[in-house]
Amino acid sequence: MTAEISCFTYEQIYYTLWELSQRYSQVTQFRVIGKSHDERMIPMLELGFGREPVFCIGGLNGTDRYMPSCLLKMAEEYCRAWECGWTLGEFYQIKELLEQWKLCFIPILNPDGYEIYEKDYAVIRNPIYRQMLRMQETPCKEYFCNARGMNLCKNFPTSYYRKKRVGHEPASENETKALIRIFQEYQGRGLLSFGIADKRIVYFRQPQSYAVNQRCSRFARHFQKESGFRPERFNLNLSGAQNEMPGEGSPERFFAEIMRQPSFRIELPAGKTTDTPDIDSYQQIYTIPLEYLFSMSAE
């Protein structure tokens, strides 16, 4: 096994997901869940036979070069393990888990921001958006929003969402709407959102939902054993200085509030943003979705 994981382009991520659906057609299905504001398609790969999916999402931040490639590699490994009947990790029987459950991989929710990082603002086809972004004078390697300048990590309609400026409405972006539609259509039994920030697993506690909160806490401890990351609790009924994201809507928070199901954000340290992700960091997280399915099956 090499010490690095190739960092894929947007086109490579899109077509590799499609190719996986063709090669492993018995267990996978490819779907475009929507388009970005600059008309780039947002792909999703469904893996498994279960009726109730668990969502694995990434690539909300345009500067995140790591997680989209990791999620793609994760999907590839799971498909190969299913075909060969392999056990992943120490004891995860992938065929048994995928008979009961389904994983929905959405590795790149912000394709416009991802492309800007790689190819400069000239890659934006819409001339109005392109000029608007250039006028901001933000270096491409530091630009994390979508083509309209919106931070997708804070665009979901949650209880404590507060409008910051004109046009900054909840769920105003195509990418946000696409993910919300999928949540509503599929419902789902959990959300695993992968990103870059700190070495931790954040789980979202819900007001007046003791059973779900207990499950979230238990799952977080299981994930800690798998990855070595520290678990951190986030209370949905806190706001202001007590709340890490006061008044603004993340997808994890939206899922926890609306779906009333466990919701987690798995974060790697901010230093892991190179174009050549290392295999050690990947190995810390690649069995987390399987641990979640295994824990759900054991309930």
51 inside domain: yes
Give the CATH number of the domain where residue 244 resides: 3.40.630.10
pTM above 0.85, yes or no: yes
- Give the integer Cα–Cα distance in Å for 169 and 161: 9
Question: Is residue 23 a part of any domain in this protein?
Answer: yes
274 lies in a domain?
yes
Instruction: Tell me if 116 is assigned to some domain.
Output: yes
Question: Mean pLDDT for the chain?
Answer: 85
Give the per-residue pLDDT at 239: 45
207 within a domain of the structure (yes/no): yes
Domain ranges, residue 170: 10-297
Residue 5 domain-assigned?
Answer: no
* Residue (of 75, 97, 94) closest to 23 by Cα position: 75
Give kind and range of the element (H or E) at residue 144: none
Residue 99 lies in a domain: yes
pLDDT in tens, 234-259: 655 544 444 444 436 889 989 988 88
Instruction: Look at residue 1 and tell me if it is in a domain.
Output: no
64-122: per-residue pLDDT in tens? 888 999 999 999 999 999 999 999 988 899 999 999 999 999 999 999 999 999 999 99
Count: domains in the chain: 1
Q: Bigger pLDDT: 275 or 282?
A: 282
| DSSP one-letter code for 141 | G
Contacts of 279 (CB under 8 A, 6+ apart): 1, 2, 3, 4, 5
